[in-house]
Structure 1
Amino acid sequence: MEVNDALVQQLATLSRLEFSAEESAGIQQDLQRMITFVEQLSTLDTTGVPPLLHMTDNVNVLREDVVIPAISRETALRNAPAASDQYFKVPKVIKK
């Protein structure tokens, strides 16, 4: 596949980017190198190689839930600029 100015301009338009002429030339070269590399991969013989779905055989590796100490409600409300007995008080933001 050949990367030309029209393709770079189309990609720039789709990605909402603007490039100068120098940047466009550099991007064109970079894209051409990437496509050439991917085309080299297609020459490999992959018969008998199963598809790789996951990088490891681990499935749902989760940690156990552990209860850790937290600050008390009183301690949290003590640092609030405004609070009632159980809640933070905040300014009203919705007007009826």
Structure 2
Amino acid sequence: MGAISGVLIILITIFMPPVGVFMVAGCGADLFVNICLTILGVIPGHIHAFYLEYVYFDRREQAREGRFAAKRAPGVYSERVQTGGQGYGTMAQSTA
């Protein structure tokens, strides 16, 4: 995913937060939590969705730089988000 994909996910999240969460985290606990928060009010759903996307893209950038987060992000249940889409705890291959 490049910059255009990131912008597309953000635009989708502005209008439908659960769809943005599904695109980043997949179908799981994070999606269920976001649907519940969106039903309770639009603002909590947006905050949760943008938080998940921030963690996902931040961890993805850290993995590209060769740094890996030692601690889990609080409130994030998806391994895909925790690792920045780099797999389930696997290290990214070096391109050098």
Q: Which has the higher helix share?
A: 2
TM-score range, shorter chain: 0.3 to 0.5
In terms of Rg, which structure is larger? 1
TM score, norm. by length of structure 1: 0.34
